[in-house]
Amino acid sequence: MSVVLGMPTPRRTGASAARGATPVPLPSDRPAASALIDRFGREATDLRISLTDRCNLRCTYCMPAEGLPFLAPPALMSLDEITRLARIAVTEFGVRQVRFTGGEPLLRKDLVEIIRSVASLDPRPEISLTTNAIGLSSRAEALAEAGLDRINVSLDSIHPETFAEITRRPFLDRVLAGIDAVRAAGLRSTKINAVLMPGINDHQGVELLEWALAGGHQLRFIEQMPLDADHSWARESMITAAEIRERLAERYLLTPDDAPRDGAPAELFRCASDRPAATARYSGSSASSRR
């Protein structure tokens, strides 16, 4: 089975199209427009803003057990600076979606104010949050009221022991409570980002997908990136997108979804099990980071 996941198709423009076989577009191929268009013709309409480098988990593939030398609070962008950056992006460069990430963005005490401020911009961007969901149960409603549109939750296992092994923290129940709160707050369906690792949770992919389908979540598997916090990453210690798809296909019929991806790196699949009621989307991705 051959599966292609990931990069958008390069688009030739202007001079390079006329030359036909030129393998790499030149800077002169870049269209004269204020939008963020690279020389391959790809338009960037998403802005990711990391609100903090701190996190309350210690995922083994992200940072060492003792944490990192985190930035001092004055070094982080303030509410005003974040709003100004987002305003320039949406009014000058055609950015249509602002995503807040971390570290763990819920650790910002002023997160509700940040979202309210960015939601007041004209044109208003779509606002999303990538989070580990710890603490979300008490803040989901306020975030939704402030203007948050959607949430991506990083979750690699629904087994408490496996979750604790990966994150070095026993907080699975808090994560699940946060995901439940998203629905109660009336936000759009949650997307779940998961990384599978050999010998740790690679045998739980189907179960994770079943859980996501039952909850109405879109699941996105992401290939592990060599962030290498512990200097132990090896090519053979990662599960590829193709391998994940093969394992899921043993249980589910996966059908490519041709819906426009708007430049997103993940390929979408609809999946149907032998139970007719369970039909939903699995989103496979070779994106390098779940943040």
Query: Could you say which of 52, 128, 152, 154 contacts ligand SF4 (CB under 6 A)?
Result: 154
**Contact window for ligand SF4 (CB under 6 A) among 10-18, 101-109, 113-121, 267-275:** 101-109
CB of 104: closest distance to ligand SF4 in angstroms? Answer: 5
Instruction: Work out how close the CB of 53 gets to ligand SF4 at its nearest, in angstroms, rounded to a whole number.
Output: 8
**Residue 192, beta-bridge partner list:** 153, 219
Nearer residue to ligand SF4 within complex by CB, 55 or 244: 55
Using the minimum distance from each CB to ligand SF4, give the nearer residue, 62 or 268. 62
Q: Judged by CB under 6 A, which of 104, 149, 223, 267 binds ligand SF4? A: 104
- Give me the least distance between CB of 16 and ligand SF4, in Å please: 38
What is the C-alpha R_g of the chain?
A: 20
Map residue 72 onto helix, strand or coil.
coil
253 - beta bridge partners? 272
Residue 128: strand pairing partners: 99, 150
CB of 177 to ligand SF4, least distance (A): 16
CB atoms within 10 A of CB 264: 14
- Total number of residues that touch ligand SF4 (CB under 6 A): 11
Please say whether the beta carbons of 188 and 150 come within 8 A.
yes
Task: Name which position in 25, 41, 103, 205 contacts ligand SF4 (CB under 6 A).
Answer: 103
Query: How far apart, in Å, are the Cα atoms of 66 and each of 55, 56, 63, 73, 149?
Result: 12, 11, 8, 19, 34
Q: Residue 102, interface with ligand SF4 (CB under 6 A)? A: yes
How far is the CA of 69 from the CAs of 63, 74, 108, 175, in angstroms? 11, 14, 18, 25
Interface residues for ligand SF4 in 108-137 (CB under 6 A)? 132
Residues 40-79, mask of contacts with ligand SF4 (x by CB under 6 A): ---------------x-xxx--xx----------------
List helix spans (H) across the chain. 14-19, 79-92, 111-119, 140-146, 160-167, 172-184, 205-215, 241-249
Please state the closest distance from residue 270 (CB atom) to ligand SF4, in A: 28
Residues of the shown chain interacting with ligand SF4 in the complex, contacts defined by CB under 6 A:
55, 57-59, 62-63, 102-104, 132, 154
